[in-house]
Amino acid sequence: MPAGRLPSDICDRDPIWDREVETETHVQAFGRAASAWEKQFRHLIDHSPFYARKFREAGVHQKLVPLKNIANLPFSTKYELKDGIDEAPPFGSNLCVPPEQVKRVYQTSGTTGAPSVLALTLSDMEMWTVIGTRTYFATGIHDHSSVLTTFGAGPFVAGHTHFVLSRIGCRSVPVAPGDTDRVIFGLKAGLADTLLSTPSFAQYLANKSEMSDRQRMALSHIVTGGEPGGGIPAIRDHIQRVLDVTVTEVMGIGDIAPSLFGECPQQQGMHFCGGGHVWVELVDPDSREPVTIEAGAVGELVYTHLTREAMPVARFLGGDIVRIEGSPCACGRATFRMRVIGRRDDMFIVRGVNVYPSAILAVVGRFRPRVTGRARVIRKTADVSVQPPVPIEVEVPDGHAGDQKLAEEIEAAVHSTLTFRAKVGLITEAAFGESGYKTRLTVNRP
Ligand SMILES: [Zn+2]
């Protein structure tokens, strides 16, 4: 198998969509970004009341803050941007174009408050499509692929994937998120060799397929996104083994670009695919001091648009804590690769140790098939500090909720791996609730 190509892929096309950008050196990438940033910075100062005020309040009065000094600018958060929307609805004080140039509007899910909006000009839509095309092409999707996508058409930014699949030129088979019957029909009918879904749903499909006729499916590739999991070995290995597929993952962030990182078939973490349009920094999660992007570095990703027209953001704190896996890659891309460790919002502290719920999934996954692979942490208070034992609910197949020995084994595994005491409750699939499509890793329940 040539590097950067799926095992099932025998085509001879270049597996890199945008070879110039995706293989350039860091110095070249910086130069490309720095000149784009000059224009973007002026656009912000001239047209964004939100950023003009924010920079003024931070004591930034220069006509230009060059990219190499970007750390002199203040961070932006989703809460500030939401306030900006509220003070000048519907598009807010960070709208940098006349409203009639807004040609597409997505909404955010509002999991952290009231829904918000994301406005795009035609140029913004194209920019998202360009980045997304690099991202999905990197996973191994080519024009000869047939892709069943469960990412929905809207109202969320994941709907932008449809433009991306059209740009690649593959067959697209859209299904609504969580419509299990249509997914299974589509796969068994041989309509698709590739599935785009959440890792929760892929896991659900794997659990269902363990007893059914996997061999009738043409499925060979699953691209997971929308939540962490595709990069967790216990989850990925299970899906790959049961469904006999290659799992790659993608990640994006609504305020920046819906598909911004894509993992190639080398499966060594997700490549940054936003070159020329988005600038990424890494900062220490606690001090917020800059951290060099190099193999082994851990930090929070900070994003700055370089070419956004309607709602550009500068130094946006994305909330994703990642580990840099390094660069370059056997696939030929020079862009850095990373894996998500967890969401800052989901993190809690037990006796001074930071814990991300995705780490709990990695432990729970070892107990398959006695568990389904889904689990969540119950937070009784809003305090980031949690007293042990930490309540964890683990989903088990129907009829296994009374297996006290299993609960104790998971508690012991959590203790030995993550060094904190847990109180595990076993919950059947019916009682766990939420469709198998997406799993909230943390539930607040006093
Ligand atoms: Zn690669």
**Residue range 321-342, pLDDT digits in tens:** 999 998 889 999 999 999 999 9
Summarize pLDDT for 253-301 with one digit per residue, the tens. 999 999 999 999 999 999 999 999 999 999 998 899 999 999 999 999 9
Q: Which residues surround ligand 1, an ion (CB under 5 A)?
A: 264, 266, 329, 331, 333
* pLDDT (tens digit per residue) in 114-157: 678 999 999 999 999 999 999 999 999 999 999 999 998 778 89
Cα 264 to middle of ligand 1, angstroms: 5
Does the pLDDT at position 436 exceed 80? no
- Tell whether the model's pLDDT for residue 18 goes beyond 60: yes
Alpha-carbon gap, residue 366 to 237, rounded angstroms = 10
Task: Output the CA 331–ligand 1 centroid distance in Å.
Answer: 4
pTM of the predicted structure, to 2 decimals:
0.93
pLDDT at 32: 98
3-state DSSP percent of the chain in helix, strand and coil, to 5 = 35, 25, 45
Task: Quote the ligand 1 centre to 168 CA distance (angstroms).
Answer: 18
Q: Looking at the DSSP assignment, which residues form a beta bridge with residue 342? A: 321
Separation of 338 CA from ligand 1 center, angstroms?
A: 11
Query: How far is the centre of ligand 1, averaged over its atoms, from the C-alpha of 16 (Å)?
Result: 9
CA–CA separation, 359 and 240 (whole Å): 20
> What is the enclosing helix (H) or strand (E) of 165?
helix 161-168
* Token reading at 160: 């932008």
pLDDT, greater one: 431 or 224:
224
Q: Is the pLDDT of residue 398 over 90?
A: no
How many angstroms is it from 268 CA to the middle of ligand 1? 7
Ligand 1 centroid to Cα of residue 27, in Å, is 19
Question: Residue 12 Cα, ligand 1 centroid: separation in angstroms?
Answer: 17
Ligand 1 centroid, distance to 15 Cα (angstroms): 10
**What is the residue-wise DSSP string for 344-386?**
GGG-EEETTEEE-HHHHHHHHGGGTTSS-S-EEEEESSS-SB-
Calculate how far, in angstroms, residue 335's C-alpha sits from the geometric centre of ligand 1: 8
Q: How far is the CA of 180 from the centre of ligand 1 (A)?
A: 31
Report the separation in Å between the CA atom of 184 and the middle of ligand 1, taken as the mean of its atom positions: 30
> From ligand 1's centre to the CA of 249, what distance in Å?
12
Predicted local confidence at residue 80, as pLDDT: 93
List the one residue out of 285, 220, 224, 275 whose CA is nearest residue 251: 224
Q: In angstroms, what is the span from residue 388 Cα to ligand 1's centroid?
A: 40
Q: Across-strand partners of 350?
A: 353
Place of tokens 């030129």: 169
